[in-house]
C-alpha cells in the first residue's frame, strides 16, 4: 500500500512538471468561459503530442499502455500548474474498446485519443432523460446506409464535433432496451442541424441540441452489434461516472487553489462561514483525489464496469458542489458587476448532479446493485 511515486512515476512527474512550465495554454477554467472551449482542441493535441494524454490506453490506438495510476499524476500536476484539466473522453474510449469490432477500433480510436477528431455523445432526448431507454430517434436501414431521424439534447461539445456517438432505435418491435444500436455518425452533413444551448452560467459552447432529419450513416459505422446499444451505453455511462476517467480533480483543485490564494491575501474580508465553506471544499477536492488513487489502483487488477461508478459519481458531485459553494461564498455573486467567475463556477456546479445520470438515479443504483436492497 503506497501513495508515493515509484522511481519511474517520479521521473514522469518531473518531466510533466517541466513541460507544463512552458506549455500552459493560459485558458480559463472549463466551466466558466467559452474561451476555454475555443482552445480546448489545441490543448488536447498539445498534451497528446507531448506524451501526456491517453497514458493508460493500449498502444495500438495511440495510448502508452501505462498503469492507470499515471492519470492521477497528470491530474495532480495539471492542478498544481493551474492549467485546464485533461480532456474528458475516456468513457467513449472504454465503451468502444469493450464493445466494438477491430475495424471500428482502428478507424476511430486513434483520432479520438490524439485529439484530431472531435466527438460528441448523442444520448439524451427531450422525452428521454433519466429514462434513456425510451428514446425515439430512429435509424432505419436503407441500402448500405442507415437513415436517421430524431432529436438529441443536452449534447456536450456538439457544436465542435466531427462525429456523434449516436444511440438510436433500430428495432421498434422489441422491448425498449433491446432495440437500440450505436453509430459513429459524421456531423458535417446536410441532414444534421446543431443548435447551441446556453447554460445557466451563460456559456454557449459546451452544450447543444442536435436535429437529425434524414441524416445518413454507413452501416459499417455501427459500433457493436445491432441491438447492443443499451449494453454499450451502460458501459459508457458507468465510466462517465468515474472521476478517474474524467480528470475533473484537476479542475476542482485549480478553483480551490485560487480561492485559497484570495483568502490568504485578504483574510479580514472573509467571515467564518465563508472560510468554513472553503475548508470543506479543500477537504472534498482532496477526498476525490485520494478516492481516484484508490479506484485507479484497483484497476491494476483489471478494469471493471460495475456499479462502483455510481459511488464515484456521487462523491465527485459532492466535491464539485462543495467547490461551487466555496466559489460563491468567497467570490460572491458579483452584484456590483465585478468579477463573476465564482458565480459561474457555482452555477455550473449544479449540472454535476444531473449530467451522466442524476444523483437520484445513482442512489437507486447504489441501493439496488451494491447494497442489494429489494425492488419496489
Interface residues toward another protein, by CB under 8 A: 1-6, 9, 69, 72-73, 260, 263-264, 267, 272-273, 275-276, 278-280, 282-284, 286-287, 290-291, 293-294, 297-298, 300-301, 311, 314-315, 318, 321-322, 360, 362-364, 366-368, 370-376
Q: Would you state the cell numbers that stand for residue 132, as one nine-digit string?
A: 434513456
Query: What is the total residue count of the chain?
Result: 376
Place of cell 492521477: 72
What is residue 98's DSSP assignment?
H
CB closer to another protein, 273 vs 336: 273
CB 293 within 8 A of CB 243: no
Torsion of CA 83, 4, 1, 52, to 10 degrees: 40
Half-sphere exposure of 77 (CA within 13 A, CB side): 24
**What is the rounded CA–CA span in Å between residue 247 and residue 50?**
18
CB 327 within 8 A of CB 347: no
Place of cell 512515476: 9
Nearest to 39 by CA among 18, 23, 55, 52: 23
CB 206 within 8 A of CB 229: no
CB closer to another protein, 228 vs 320: 320
Nearest to 234 by CA among 186, 162, 180, 289: 180
User: Minimum distance between the CB of residue 217 and another protein, rounded to whole angstroms?
Assistant: 38
Active site residue 240: yes
CB closer to another protein, 171 vs 286: 286
> Which residues, other chains included, contact 196 with Cβ-Cβ below 8 Å and sequence gap of 6+?
158, 159, 204, 205, 207, 208, 209
Catalytic residue among 71, 76, 206, 240: 240
CB 161 within 8 A of CB 187: yes
User: Minimum distance between the CB of residue 267 and another protein, rounded to whole angstroms?
Assistant: 7
User: Minimum distance between the CB of residue 82 and another protein, rounded to whole angstroms?
Assistant: 16
User: Minimum distance between the CB of residue 3 and another protein, rounded to whole angstroms?
Assistant: 5
> Which residues, other chains included, contact 143 with Cβ-Cβ below 8 Å and sequence gap of 6+?
none
User: Minimum distance between the CB of residue 279 and another protein, rounded to whole angstroms?
Assistant: 4
CB closer to another protein, 98 vs 286: 286
CB closer to another protein, 157 vs 346: 346
User: Minimum distance between the CB of residue 175 and another protein, rounded to whole angstroms?
Assistant: 23
User: Minimum distance between the CB of residue 318 and another protein, rounded to whole angstroms?
Assistant: 5
How many other CB atoms are there within 10 angstroms of residue 293's CB atom?
17
CB closer to another protein, 71 vs 125: 71
CB closer to another protein, 195 vs 276: 276
Nearest to 217 by CA among 141, 119, 149, 146: 146
Active-site positions read 240
Amino acid at each position: 500500500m503506497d501513495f508515493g511515486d515509484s522511481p519511474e512515476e517520479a521521473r514522469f512527474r518531473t518531466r510533466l512538471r517541466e513541460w507544463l512550465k512552458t506549455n500552459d495554454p493560459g485558458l480559463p477554467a472549463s466551466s466558466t468561459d467559452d474561451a476555454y472551449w475555443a482552445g480546448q482542441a489545441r490543448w488536447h493535441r498539445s498534451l497528446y503530442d507531448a506524451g501526456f494524454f491517453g497514458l493508460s490506453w493500449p498502444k495500438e490506438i495511440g495510448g502508452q499502455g501505462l498503469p492507470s495510476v499515471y492519470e492521477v499524476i497528470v491530474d495532480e500536476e495539471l492542478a498544481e500548474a493551474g492549467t485546464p484539466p485533461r480532456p474528458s473522453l475516456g468513457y467513449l474510449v472504454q465503451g468502444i474498446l469493450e464493445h466494438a469490432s477491430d475495424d471500428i477500433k482502428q478507424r476511430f480510436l486513434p483520432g479520438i485519443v490524439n485529439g484530431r477528431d472531435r466527438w460528441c455523445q448523442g444520448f439524451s432526448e427531450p422525452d428521454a432523460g433519466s429514462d434513456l431507454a425510451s428514446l425515439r430517434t430512429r435509424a432505419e436501414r436503407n441500402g448500405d446506409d442507415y437513415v436517421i431521424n430524431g432529436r438529441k439534447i443536452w449534447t456536450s461539445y456538439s457544436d465542435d464535433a466531427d462525429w456523434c456517438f449516436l444511440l438510436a432505435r433500430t428495432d421498434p418491435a422489441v422491448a425498449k432496451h433491446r432495440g437500440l444500436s450505436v453509430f459513429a455518425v459524421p456531423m458535417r452533413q446536410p441532414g444534421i442541424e446543431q443548435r447551441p444551448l446556453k447554460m445557466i452560467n451563460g456559456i454557449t459552447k459546451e452544450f447543444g441540441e442536435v436535429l437529425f432529419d434524414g441524416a445518413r450513416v454507413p452501416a459499417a459505422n455501427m459500433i457493436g452489434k445491432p441491438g447492443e446499444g443499451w449494453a454499450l451505453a451502460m458501459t459508457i455511462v458507468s465510466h462517465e461516472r468515474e472521476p478517474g476517467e474524467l480528470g475533473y480533480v484537476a479542475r476542482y483543485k485549480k478553483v480551490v487553489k485560487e480561492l485559497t490564494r484570495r483568502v490568504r491575501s485578504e483574510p479580514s474580508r472573509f467571515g467564518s462561514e465563508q472560510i468554513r465553506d472553503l475548508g470543506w471544499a479543500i477537504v472534498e477536492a482532496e477526498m476525490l483525489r485520494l478516492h481516484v488513487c484508490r479506484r485507479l489502483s484497483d484497476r491494476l487488477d483489471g478494469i471493471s464496469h460495475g456499479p462502483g461508478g455510481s459511488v464515484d459519481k456521487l462523491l465527485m458531485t459532492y466535491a464539485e458542489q462543495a467547490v461551487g459553494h466555496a466559489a460563491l461564498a468567497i467570490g460572491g455573486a458579483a452584484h456590483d458587476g465585478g468579477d463573476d467567475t465564482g458565480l459561474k463556477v457555482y452555477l455550473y456546479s449544479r449540472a454535476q448532479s444531473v449530467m451522466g445520470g442524476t444523483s437520484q438515479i445513482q442512489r437507486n443504483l447504489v441501493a439496488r446493485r451494491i447494497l442489494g436492497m429489494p425492488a419496489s
